[in-house]
Amino acid sequence: MHFPVVAPVRTVTLALTGASGMPYAIRLLSCLLKADITVWLLYSQAAQIVAQQESQWHLPANAGQCTEVLCQQFQTTPQKLHVFGRDEWFAPPASGSNPADAMIICPASMGAIAAIAAGTSDHLLERAADVSIKENRPLIVVPRETPLSAIHLQNLLKLAQLGVCILPPVAGFYHHPQTIDDMVDFVVARILDQLHIPHTLMPRWGADQLSDH
Ligand SMILES: Cc1cc2nc3c(=O)[nH]c(=O)nc-3n(C[C@H](O)[C@H](O)[C@H](O)COP(=O)(O)O)c2cc1C
């Protein structure tokens, strides 16, 4: 069973790890900010490499500098979008006394899934996930690997049994996607739906039936 959503969600910890799928992260970040959600952004070193490699998205190593760059890129303020560094143990998501309303790990590497399933809390990203689990806050992971080994499946099952929402970035075709953006939006819509965050990324299933009546 998933953790209940504390409605409405106002703050989200968004964590990026070194799996393929940065277009999902970029679109998700943009949608969260558009929905007026405050975002605390965390990313691993491997995420920086993947972001650069597949989306030419430069995430500076220094968190303060990254906050500045991203606020400019997404036309927002450090109050709404704040990056925390790997070892910033005084950051809000490090403590059960001040976690975000929800946490999303997108994309989630198999390494990150393993570390979180093992509860290592070695750096802020892992600790924030550990805090989400112990505080029964909604945690969504968007794991990306294929094929999945028994190790991956066991770790994912462990997290699912702890109440974590496992949301693989699996494309649907029933909305007849025409572009890569359409396919990205499909997954991002599913993530936002989990947290009841409003969006207009794609029409709702059956909505055209209702408008005819
Ligand atoms: C370009 C690139 C793509 C990668 N894609 C994946 C992937 O899809 N899934 C995965 O589990 N690991 C992938 N990896 C490997 C992880 O980045 C690596 O295991 C890393 O240690 C994960 O660290 P992190 O969980 O701290 O981000 C990729 C690495 C690179 C450089």
CB-side neighbour CA atoms (13 Å) of 72 = 7
Which residue, 50, 180, 57, 56, is CA-closest to 108? Answer: 50
Atom number of ligand 1 nearest to Cα 110 = 11
How high is the pLDDT of residue 202? 87
Asked if residue 213 has pLDDT above 90, the reply is: no
Atom number of ligand 1 nearest to Cα 17 = 27
Distance 19 CA to ligand 1 centre (A): 4
* 159 dihedral zone (left: phi>0; alpha: psi -120 to 50; beta): alpha
CB-side neighbour CA atoms (13 Å) of 190 = 18
Q: How far apart are CA 127 and CA 124, in angstroms?
A: 5
Q: What mean pLDDT comes out for the span 29-35?
A: 98
Q: How far apart are CA 166 and CA 116, in angstroms?
A: 13
Determine if the peptide bond prior to 107 is cis (ω within 30°).
yes
Distance 111 CA to ligand 1 centre (A): 7
Question: Residues with beta carbon inside 6 Å of ligand 1?
Answer: 17-20, 44, 46-47, 49-50, 53, 109-112, 144-145
Torsion of CA 57, 189, 192, 201, to 10 degrees: 80
Q: What mean pLDDT comes out for the span 133-138?
A: 96
Distance 20 CA to ligand 1 centre (A): 7
Atom number of ligand 1 nearest to Cα 47 = 27
Distance 11 CA to ligand 1 centre (A): 27
Atom number of ligand 1 nearest to Cα 49 = 31
Contact 31, 195 (CB under 8 A): no
How high is the pLDDT of residue 1? 64
Higher-confidence position of 211 and 134: 134
Q: How far apart are CA 15 and CA 112, in angstroms?
A: 10
Percent of the chain with pLDDT over 90: 90
Distance 46 CA to ligand 1 centre (A): 6
